[in-house]
Structure 1
Amino acid sequence: MQHLSVCEKDGQRVLNTSQLAESFGTDTKIINRNFQRNSERYVQGKHYFALTGEELKTYKGSRQIDDNLKFTSVLYLWTEKGAWLHAKSLNTDLAWDAYEKLVDEYYHVKSNVVPLSKDQALVTVLRTTADLVEGHESIVKEQAELKQLINNVNHKVEEQITLDSGEQRRLQKGIASKVYDLCDDPQIRPRFFRELHREIKDRFGVASYKDLKRRELQTALRYIENWIPKKVS
């Protein structure tokens, strides 16, 4: 994917129409036509921002923009959800692949902070708790409070743990098994794989199946087992 100049609006990353079209391997006319044909589905502030007047003038003056945008009277900036609607309208392998890369490499900024391991988190809480309980009247009361804090940390840490490599392979095997059970045609199987991967990400609200929480694994496996592909018209 080409390097994209970062642009933000109201605290979230956005792309202009030219950038979105280039990423999806199409042109701005197609993007604009899709928008016009399905305008009732697009919500301003959620799927896009339309800059006009002074706001557009300020935007143009704050950054270097393409020559073809210098004289436009309305500039559309597309959010991640807006890009998803355009990918759905285009419905090509290239568009879907580009959308996934946009989510991973542009719209979502990954933090450089390394999360604590479970043991590290417990040690940190224990040290903090030692300061908090100092001076309490009863050792028994201190121990009870400390135990409760540790239990709370255990619960919060378990809630955020994602799939390890073995669990990821287990999910992949479940997906492959389902697709091969449903389809003997090697020409159709890739579509089933893409469709099932997209539905898993939509169902569990993740950018990749690797981001599934460990506590969601069994639910995801049952979802895959009962999955039925969309009919091809």
Structure 2
Amino acid sequence: MTDLTIINYDGQRVLTTSQLAESYGTSSKVISKNFTRNQDRYTEGKHFIPLKGQEKHDFINRHQIDDGSRNAQVLYLWTEKGAWLHAKSLNTNQAWNVYEMLVDDYYNVKEQAQPQSLEIALQAALEHEREIKTIKSDVRYLKGNMRIDSLQQQEIQQAAKYSVVQALGGIHSVAYEGSSKKVFSAFWREFKKHFGVPRYGDIPKVKFDDAIRFIELWRPSTSLQIEIDQSNSQMTLS
């Protein structure tokens, strides 16, 4: 995140609400609402640093912050762990991807410090590394288990309808009139069994393309296809 203006507070890098919102592809209002709704999960000093009064004005002037914070009652500064909680609240691919970049390219570029001893410095580094590995593991898990959104659900519905109707011979076919319910049931049963979900809306985002591919390749079973062909042959003979 090389385009971010670097802001330090008390020896650690932080982000303002507007910086965090812009990075995550959302608005400061959404960030503030998420914070208000989940305020009991945030710990002052660990996840955020609130600046008020003269301290706030001095900080804004020192860092030349020009994002509307000057008129706010409180200026919130977000630590690395605070950014993690906001990514979790937003739960979008962009937020998770940006969070990983923030960890790698912004928060982890620390200022030169003068530790009391090499042992203390190594212990702190190891502890930090463990925390980062845990957080990244959680990020990968959440990204891998995010369910498809409403637009993707609609796309799967439309693709499934097209595939089944084609298999039946079209909406004007005899098979469509007499067997569409049975064929649709067979399709969704195979679909949910293949992806191991109770309903199609539970498919993870990472498997959306696989779901579309499954629909495109789906064909009725042999016995069901024979039934469809026999129904449609009646239309041909009549």
Question: TM-score by structure 1 length?
Answer: 0.48
Question: TM-score by structure 2 length?
Answer: 0.47
